[in-house]
Copies of this chain bind each other. A is one copy, B any other.
Amino acid sequence: MYRAPVEEISFTLKHVAGLKAGLDEGAFGELSEDLVDAILEEAGRFATDEVAPLRKVGDEKGAVLKDAAVTTPPGWKELYRRWIDGGWNALQGPEEYGGQALPAMLGVAALEMWNSGSMAFAIGPTLTMGAVEAMEKHATEDLKKKYLEKLVSGEWMGTMNLTEPQAGSDLAALRARAERAGDGTYRIFGQKIFITYGEHDFTDNIVHMVLARLPDAPVGTRGISLFLVPKFFVNDDGSLGGRNDVFCSGLEEKLGIHGSPTCTMIYGDGFVKGSEAGAVGWLIGEENKGLACMFTMMNNARLAVGMQGVAVAEAAFQKALAYANDRRQGKASTYQGEGMAPIVHHPDVQRNLLTMKALTQIARAISYSCAYATDKARASDGDDRQHWQDRANLLTPIAKAFSTDVGVDVASLGLQIHGGMGFIEETGAAALYRDARIAPIYEGTNGIQAIDLVVRKLPQGGGEHVFGYISELAEIVSELRTSNLHGFGQTANAIDNALDDLSDATRHLQKLAGEGRVDEALAGATPYLRLFALASGGAYLARGALAEENEARQSLCRFFAENLLGETRALKDRVVGGAASLSAAAKSLISA
Contacts and interface: CB of A to CB of B under 8 A. Distances in A.
Interface in A396-442: 408, 412, 415-416, 419-420, 422-426, 430, 433-434, 437-438, 440-442
A570 B559 contact: no
Contacts of A567: 567, 570
A504 interface: no
A519 B255 CA distance: 39
Chain A interface category by residue count: 35 or more
A558 B581 contact: yes
A450 interface: yes
Contacts of A344: 586, 589-591
B552 A256 contact: no
Contact of A340 (B170, B194, B346, B416): B170
B566 A580 contact: no
A582 B252 contact: no
A559 to B, nearest CB: 4
Interface stretch (A19-27, A82-90, A139-147, A520-528): A520-528
Contact of A590 (B345, B525, B555): B345
A347 interface: yes
Give the oligomeric copy count.
2
Contacts of A561: 581
Interface stretch (A47-55, A237-245, A325-333): A325-333
A456 to B, nearest CB: 15
Contacts of A348: 447, 450-451, 522-523, 525-526
A420 B581 contact: no
A169 B559 contact: no
Nearest to A451: B348
Given A256-B423, A408-B412, A412-B437, A563 B581 contact: yes
A328 B169 CA distance: 10
Contacts of A334: 519, 583, 590
Nearest to A562: B581
A33 interface: no
Contacts of A479: none
30 contacts: A168-B419, A169-B329, A169-B419, A252-B424, A253-B424, A254-B425, A333-B519, A334-B583, A344-B586, A346-B447, A347-B522, A347-B525, A347-B582, A353-B589, A354-B582, A354-B589, A416-B445, A419-B445, A420-B442, A423-B437, A434-B434, A551-B587, A552-B587, A559-B581, A562-B573, A562-B577, A562-B578, A566-B574, A569-B569, A570-B570
